Structure 1
Amino acid sequence: MKKAFYFITLLCTAMLVTNCSEDSATDEFNNTNGNVATKLVQSISVVSAQDAQENKNIALSYNTNGSLNTISDGVETSIFVYSNGDLSNITGNGDNLNIEELYDSPYDAFETGNVLNYDNNGNPKKIEFYEEEYDFNTNSYTTEIFTADITYDNTHNPYFYTLQAGGIIEVLDGVQLNFSVNPQVPEIVQARLLLPVNNPSQIVYKNAQGEIIYTITVNYVYDSENYPTSATITAISTEDSQQSTYSTVFEYVN
């Protein structure tokens, strides 16, 4: 499931989330963004300015009926399996549409996080997550609490219709966030809670003391329909005083 929803996390404290809504994922996307042209991502290429081994070329293929078939970075491939037109399984490996994976973030907020609050559009604004840190004094691992503050461009989530072509949005549309229904699959509930309606442009990671430890900033170039065509990404590690830069090109199905 993890590779399917690019946000999938551990069992969350979902009952504590205050963003209760009876709107579906599609409703929230449409209510926020209005009439958006449908475009399906065909490829994403990422070029590292500092290390060619970090370069990535992610290719997406589609079936003749328009449904998503595969997502591959040349090493790991996710294969979408359908039954009677509905998504039934995703085989293989890969988290290729995860922004943290795209730009080699050392943290997994979108995989192990709980949403603390949302912005006015319903996007996850602050996520709390946990990481294991090695303590050289005790020669053991300890669990540390971190937060990620997320900022969005005033444009739609460019992956929404690609996820819809993969049957994922239909699955998320079935999730009820008012929790008045029977318990649901926690991974799918968490994916729904973390699905943004806008395009993330910055993630600021902080430690338990509120100190900034890592930042990812993405400056997009958009086409006339507000889909990104390219981007420049800057990743800064405050702890290591290191900065990394990436260039990204997005292509869509004609």
Structure 2
Amino acid sequence: MKRFLFLSTISITLLASCDSDSVTDEFDNANGGDTAKKLIERVEFDSAQIDEEDYAFTVNYDANNRVTSASNGIDTGVLVYENNELSTVSGGSEPFSLSELYQDPYDVFETGDVLEYDNSGNPISVKVFEESYEFNETTGVFEEVIEEFTATIAYDATPNPYFYTFEAAGLIEVLDRVQLNFSMMPQSSEILRARALFPLNNIKSIVYKNEAGEVEGEVKIDYVYDADNYPSSGTITVIVDQEPTSVYSVNYSYKQ
């Protein structure tokens, strides 16, 4: 279950079409161009399972409504700006300079490839790879195992509630810069993937199938929306083959 909840979290927060428009243009086109600008302050996830802990994701802002830090309750990322642009993000390790995203090719394993987009520019079919290690009793060593899944994603006709929070953190500009410089210099494959997977609308379900086409997991999200079509709360149901169904409630708080 945790595997699919993790994949779903990555999909929901990092899942943009690949035409020449900026991410902002694509977002406006997908949502009618009159979306209210709301900034997320806190998202709380409460588990209905007694053996799982609740957790919350919080975002802090400065006087100019720029994101200064974000935390999941365990790890905290601190954002630093120079000349009104995001320059570094530091967390539990050494600070990472965003300038590297535009200068150095990264040799990373691709964990998601878009197979199909809908008419609004949302990825609706994504190939997902999961890497794990299993003990080989014959050789006596742990060996890498890579499983391949196809994720089919459906959306509500509402905006991605994280968009303006990402914009306030300078991340939309990062995605746009990658798009603009696509043919000019090597790009980080991680950021290119984020650019390709970024959702313009709000995800309501994800179905995972293995290479044989068998359903191995499903995530369903039923939202309660406010007057601006932003989620105020929701229920997440995670169904994984041969495991008990897990249910979570989620609540959103926005900056006033």
TM-score (norm 2): 0.80
Asked if 2 retains the 8 angstrom alpha-carbon contact of 1:21 and 1:177, the reply is no
Structure 2 residue runs without a partner (length 5+): 1-9, 94-109
In the alignment, which residue of structure 2 is the partner of 1:247?
249
Provide the residue aligned with 2:169 in structure 1.
166
Q: Residue 24 of structure 1 aligns with which residue? A: 22
1:78-125 deviation line (CA, Å, top 9, x unaligned): 11111111001111159xxxxxxxxxxxxxxxx821111111111111
Once residues 177 and 124 of structure 1 are traced to their aligned partners in structure 2, the CA distance between those partners, rounded to angstroms, is 20
Q: How many residues align?
A: 225
Aligned partner of residue 34 in structure 2, secondary structure: coil
CA contact (8 A) 2:14 2:199 kept: no
Indicate how the Cα distance of structure 1 residues 136 and 203 shifts in structure 2: closer, same or farther if over 3 A, else same.
Answer: farther
Structure 2 partner of 1:78: 77
CA distance in 2, matches of 1:175, 1:58: 27
| Percent of aligned positions that are identical | 46
Q: 1:51-90 residue pairs with structure 2 within 5 A?
A: 51=50, 53-90=52-89
Q: Which residue pairs with 2:6 in the alignment?
A: none
In the alignment, the residues of structure 2 paired with residue 178 and residue 89 of structure 1 have an alpha-carbon distance, to the nearest angstrom, of: 19
Equivalent residues in 2 for 1:181-200 (5 A)? Answer: 181-200=184-203
CA separation of 1:55 and 1:121: change in aligned 2, threshold 3 A: same
1:176 is paired with a residue of what secondary structure? Answer: helix
1:138 Cα shift?
5.8
Q: CA deviation at 1:137?
A: 7.1
Cα distance in structure 2, aligned partners of 1:119 and 1:153 = 12
Cα contact 2:18–2:196 (8 A) shared by 1: no
TM-score (norm 1): 0.81
1:155: Cα distance to partner?
A: 0.4
Alignment partner, residue 142 of structure 1? 145
Structure 1 CA distance for aligned equivalents of residues 164 and 51 of structure 2: 31
Whether contact under 8 Å (2:233, 2:251) holds in the other structure is yes
Alignment-derived partner of residue 116 in structure 2: 117
2: CA distance between counterparts of 1:43 and 1:241? 30
Letter in 1 for 2:23: A
Return the match for 2:239 from 230, 236, 239. 236
Select 2:14's aligned residue among 7, 23, 27: 7
